[in-house]
Amino acid sequence: MSFLCQGTYLIIAASNGGNLKHSSESSVNFIDSADSVIVSDTVTGPKVKLNARAAKFAALYLKENEEALEKVRERSKLVFPMMDSILTKYELPVEIKYLAVIESELKPDALSHVGAAGPWQLMPATARLLGLKVTRKYDERKYFKKSTVAAAKYIRDLYCEFGDWLLVIAAYNGGPVPVYAAIRKSGSRNFWKLQNYLPAETRGHVKRYISTHFYFEGQGGVTTLTRTEMNKYLLKLDEFNATKATQSIAAVNHTRSIADSVSNDQAIGGKLIAER
């Protein structure tokens, strides 16, 4: 990402999740997982297929939450355009808005048992550090626009801290400390290798995010990849864009060549008529 890393606000944001059910982890938790597959597409660009473990979790999660997610989809029509605009301003992938879906189902009055509130489920101390006003009578965490700005700052700083979107999502849920502990114990910064050292709620949170991303996008994306996978994806995307640019230049040159040929033919034709 190209934004400048600034001061951090690394305080736990706890999710509420509303009516979204938490799929069981027992059958998918301790199986080695292959990487996500990045498929080249010469028409629309590279596509991201979920790895086997994520796909299995997503299938069950989406089946259990189909009705709730349909309601969220309707709700999202009013708020996603605004979120996209703010996330773009902070140079974040717009797909990170799906984090708000699993945090609160996009409900402004969502409140967790530990005191996190609003669509982004920010804790009071975090919200105040991020510039929001939180009192007994007035709580800006419940305002979509203001809370999205605050969440964008927080997520930006988490990315500066970890440089990996899956770890960012884990830290957003449980705080940076458990993520660093999992990195140390596993000897890896790959979510799929360190996940079993994370609290069950946190590793499930990441998988629910991936599943929700798949529900809305029909595939994975930058924010569902490990850092290594993301770099491979971005490389393929750069190659695709370079190829398209070359093709566009070639098409323009071809059009100009045709235009010049027609113009020359017309000039020759006009000269012959004049000579008659």
pLDDT tens readout for residues 121-155? 999 999 999 999 999 999 999 999 999 999 999 99
Domain enclosing residue 53, as ranges: 37-239
CATH code at position 224: 1.10.530.10
* Contact yes or no for 157/176 (Cβ under 8 A): no
Q: Is residue 94 part of a domain?
A: yes
The token pair at 142 is 């419940």
Q: Is residue 273 part of a domain?
A: no
pLDDT score, position 11 = 42
* Regions in the chain scoring below 70 on pLDDT: 1-45, 247-276
Q: Is residue 85 part of a domain?
A: yes
Q: In whole angstroms, what is the distance from residue 117 CA to residue 125 CA?
A: 11
Q: In whole angstroms, what is the distance from residue 134 CA to residue 136 CA?
A: 7
Q: Is residue 21 part of a domain?
A: no
Q: In whole angstroms, what is the distance from residue 276 CA to residue 267 CA?
A: 15
Residues facing 76 on adjacent strands: none
pLDDT score, position 255 = 60
Q: Is residue 274 part of a domain?
A: no
Q: Is residue 27 part of a domain?
A: no
pLDDT score, position 14 = 46
* Contact yes or no for 19/5 (Cβ under 8 A): no
Chain segment 80-130, per-residue pLDDT in tens: 999 999 999 999 999 999 999 999 999 999 999 999 999 999 999 999 999
How far from 153 is each of 6, 164, 186, 229, CA to CA, in Å? 9, 16, 29, 24
pLDDT score, position 89 = 97
For residue 134, what is the DSSP state? B
- In terms of Cα–Cα distance, which of 117, 151, 164, 145 is closest to 15? 117
Q: Which residue has the tokens 């938490």?
A: 22
Q: Is residue 15 part of a domain?
A: no
Q: Is residue 138 part of a domain?
A: yes
Assessment of whether the complete model's pTM goes beyond 0.85: no
pLDDT score, position 214 = 96
Residues facing 122 on adjacent strands: 117
Provide the domain count of the chain. 1
Residue 139, SS3 per DSSP = strand
pLDDT score, position 9 = 44
